[in-house]
Amino acid sequence: MTVLTLKNVWKIYEGNVIGVEDLSIRVEDGELFALLGPSGCGKSSTLRMIAGLEKISKGELWFDDVLVNDLEPRERNVAMVFENYALYPYLSVYENIAFPLRLRGMSQVEIDRKVRWAAEFLGITDLLPMRVRGLSGGQMQAVGIGRAIVRQPAVLLMDEPISHLEARQRARMREELVDLHSQLGTTTIYVTHDQVEAMAMAHRIAVMNLGKLQQVGTPKEVYNQPHTKFVGGFIGEPPMNFANCELSSENGEFYVVSPSFKVKLSPQAAAKLENYHGDAQVQLGIRPENISVSMTPTESSFAAKVYVTEPQGDRTLLSVLLDSNELFLIEVAPDFFAPPDETVYLKFNEPIHLFDRVEEVNLLY
């Protein structure tokens, strides 16, 4: 039962390369917390600093009210599940899981009880006598997880644990991990580059990019209220569409204007912009499901040219070219079809996001 706090944590590598920049996060007791971002965003460095495998260059790391910066990994009572499993290849499944217990000099009776508990928990009891070399990726990771949970750690760290599995197995492991967490209730930090994984599993997500924290929030929050353009574009599949435009006001109403369209902002959005004094150059962001398409013009719709229609079975993805030469991806009904170069009419629905073009922060949240 541990609350984990990072206070202004930096990781600076040799040659002044910044891995993690001024990161402050508080992970609550029993939370399943995801660190999400593309490769090189600093999420793995953060995890390794929490594990103690890498030194913290600056800042503080607290487990409850203990400052752990200078503690060795073995003094932190953390367990880690590795991306490439990191099993002991010369040991059996049983001995791999028993390894951390043997290091603590536990009695054989106690070890046996705990190993069997973990194996049963993960449904790998029949693998126990086997050597790890011949196991499949999913089985190996189950062993890795068994080794991590067998000693009831204060914090459970998972570094892309299922990213090497094939898609179907990954989906099943995702569910198993959520189930595992809800039964164990251990504070868990889960690193992934896959936004689907983070959205599906985590209580809260910290989105990182280029070493910087972009946003912390529940899956709903980061999806519906992205604080930065990066978060908006990274979360959601297919991704958010962006268009360069200008802000203008007429008779107390706010409009977003581009060569292709002119959209009136909602009163709530307009209220948020009252205090905005930046450049009028902004970027509009809108998700593929928030655009409606019709073959005939409607009120406040604008024209675009069909580029490609991609049927997906449960839905169809329509890409269109705006007059400004920007490509937009739109989710439409599964039976929708329009030939290339056909003119269609688009209409934006709420929520619309506006990002500052330089700072790339969301102006509406």
Binding flag, residue 80, other proteins (CB under 8 A): yes
Question: In the chain, what are the helix, strand and coil shares in percent, each to the nearest 5?
Answer: 30, 35, 35
Question: Per this entry, what is the length of the chain?
Answer: 365
Binding flag, residue 318, other proteins (CB under 8 A): no
Binding flag, residue 78, other proteins (CB under 8 A): yes
Among 66, 67, 103, 327, binds other proteins (CB under 8 A): 103
Binding flag, residue 69, other proteins (CB under 8 A): no
Residue 304's beta-bridge partner residues?
Answer: 344
Among 9, 36, 56, 87, binds other proteins (CB under 8 A): 87
Residue pair 7/24 in contact by the 8 Å Cβ criterion: yes
> Smallest distance from the beta carbon of 140 to other proteins, in angstroms?
12
Residue 35 CA to chain centroid, in angstroms?
A: 6
Our CB check for other proteins shows the closer of 72 and 341 to be 72
Binding flag, residue 66, other proteins (CB under 8 A): no
| Tokens at 90, concatenated | 């010369």
Among 86, 295, 308, 327, binds other proteins (CB under 8 A): 86
Binding flag, residue 337, other proteins (CB under 8 A): no
Our CB check for other proteins shows the closer of 112 and 356 to be 112
> Smallest distance from the beta carbon of 68 to other proteins, in angstroms?
13
Binding flag, residue 82, other proteins (CB under 8 A): yes
Binding flag, residue 129, other proteins (CB under 8 A): no
- DSSP for 123-140, please give it: T-GGGTTSBSTT--HHHH
> Smallest distance from the beta carbon of 75 to other proteins, in angstroms?
8
Residue pair 320/344 in contact by the 8 Å Cβ criterion: yes
| Tokens at 183, concatenated | 């039964």
- 58 phi-psi bin (left φ>0, alpha ψ -120 to 50, beta other): beta
Our CB check for other proteins shows the closer of 127 and 293 to be 127
Binding flag, residue 91, other proteins (CB under 8 A): yes
H or E stretch covering 96: helix 93-103
Stretch that binds other proteins, among 62-70, 83-91, 181-189, 279-287 (CB under 8 A): 83-91
Binding flag, residue 143, other proteins (CB under 8 A): no
Binding flag, residue 89, other proteins (CB under 8 A): yes
Binding flag, residue 163, other proteins (CB under 8 A): no
How many Cβ atoms from other residues are within 10 Å of residue 238's Cβ?
16
Residue list 166-205, contact with other proteins (CB under 8 A): none
Binding flag, residue 100, other proteins (CB under 8 A): yes
Query: CA 223 to CA 233: how far, in whole Å?
Result: 10
Among 8, 84, 298, 343, binds other proteins (CB under 8 A): 84
Our CB check for other proteins shows the closer of 58 and 74 to be 74
Query: CA 33 to CA 50: how far, in whole Å?
Result: 13
Scan for tokens 């292709």, then name that residue: 260
The strands making up 343-348's β-sheet, listed across from edge to edge, are 291-294, 343-348, 302-311, 316-321, 327-332
How many Cβ atoms from other residues are within 10 Å of residue 47's Cβ?
21
| Interface contacts to other proteins, rule CB under 8 A | 51-53, 72-74, 78-80, 82, 84-91, 99-100, 102-104, 147, 151, 157
